[in-house]
Structure 1
Amino acid sequence: MSVFNRTNLLILVIAAVGAGAGFLAGGWLRPAPPQYAAPHALKVGDASTPVALPDLDGKPQSFEQWRGKLVLVNFWASWCGPCREEMPLLDRSQRRYAGQGLQIVGVAADTPEATQTFLKEYPVAYPILVDDPARGSDVALDYGNLRGVLPFTVLIGRDGRILAQRAGNFSEAALDAWLAPHI
């Protein structure tokens, strides 16, 4: 008795065609990765906008206080693994490049409580501001993070213009290369 008679072959062909059609339809119907709407999202070359976010004591701090310095703004969250891995590198880089006018500023996309708890265990020597999602705004989005990726880093020049934007965490070599043209 033959394993592949006409009926079995027909069932196999129909199954294969159905699977292929399902695969193609899935590709067409799958939603695109989110691109967040930010009509005024900053791009490289744009002047940074005035931002005031609370520090760990709840006092509003403005990016403007660092005008005249090269400011690396790192958007992160306590629950973000790559962010946590990157913070010791940023801390070392703050000490290493401070004399050359670099100021690193961390912006936690987190609650104040989660941020403070995290920083008690993993302290850093650079300023941390809090952009609590419960506030209803997203400063990282305003600064060009249209994919909602963390960490997201923005380099603001001494004149207040956006010099560079980067999604994802840095290695030491990548950070040094990213900063080199501006230090």
Structure 2
Amino acid sequence: MKPTVKVLLVAVAAGVLGAAAGLWFNGPGPLLRSELGQRALHEVLEASAPAPPAGVPVAERGGLVPSFSLPDLAGRNVSVPAAWSGRPVLVNLWASWCGPCIREMPELDRFATRQGATGVQVIGIALDEREAVLRFLESTPVGYPILLDTPGPGDAGVRLGNPSGVLPYTALIDARGRLVKEKIGPFEAGEVEAWLD
């Protein structure tokens, strides 16, 4: 490769990393909320993330989401996304200690309520301890299902295409079980519907 091409590639990579870091540390702006910005941020974070453990399947945009099971708050195992086969599923990964996660939950709950029994199914996956989740939900209840997982290199976020483990993280799975969209960071008021379009 010619030296000028190498310099150009390094400059472009540095620019993308700088823009992503600026967006990350200075709060979400219009670029970060755009599909292009989200894809760029995802690429940057994925490039620096550790490899998932051997045998942990990771969903890729456009591909089928490998099924996995997690307990709900009552301890019953639920298969994701198979439990909602035939419906689009919006999976939101969060934790009770994550400020941006907490701020977006009322918006996700409003969206879920408007979907009814046939629209997009919202589910939350808490990467947290059960007791902390139950305490949190006493003060901030939501009407959509909450599942539990332990944070780590093979958790549900990694399986859903978020190997960097950034929270909140949202994945949209279509009615056929394919990962069609990913969002790093919280939803602002009224943003869920726009994101789905």
Q: What is the TM-score normalised by the length of structure 2?
A: 0.70
Q: What's the counterpart of residue 49 of structure 2?
A: 35
For the 8 Å contact 2:90–2:121, the answer to whether it is kept is yes
Structure 2 stretches lacking a partner, 5+ long: 1-43
Distance 1:50 1:142 in 2: 9
Deviations 1:142-165 (A, max 9, x none): 111122110000000001111101
CA RMSD across the alignment: 1.9
Is the alpha carbon distance of 1:133 and 1:149 closer, same or farther for their aligned partners in structure 2, counting shifts above 3 Å? closer
Q: What's the counterpart of residue 105 of structure 2?
A: 87
Q: Which of 146, 150, 153 is matched with 2:167 structurally? A: 150
Does residue 171 (structure 1) correspond to residue 188 (structure 2)? The answer is yes
Distance 2:62 2:100 in 1: 27
Q: Which of 118, 124, 127 is matched with 1:109 structurally? A: 127
Q: What's the counterpart of residue 73 of structure 1?
A: 91
Deviations 1:26-47 (A, max 9, x none): xxxxxx9741313742121010
Structure 1 stretches lacking a partner, 5+ long: 1-31
Count of equivalent residues: 148
Q: What's the counterpart of residue 133 of structure 1?
A: 151
SS of the residue corresponding to residue 129 of structure 1 reads: strand
Q: Which of 40, 45, 51 is matched with 2:68 structurally? A: 51
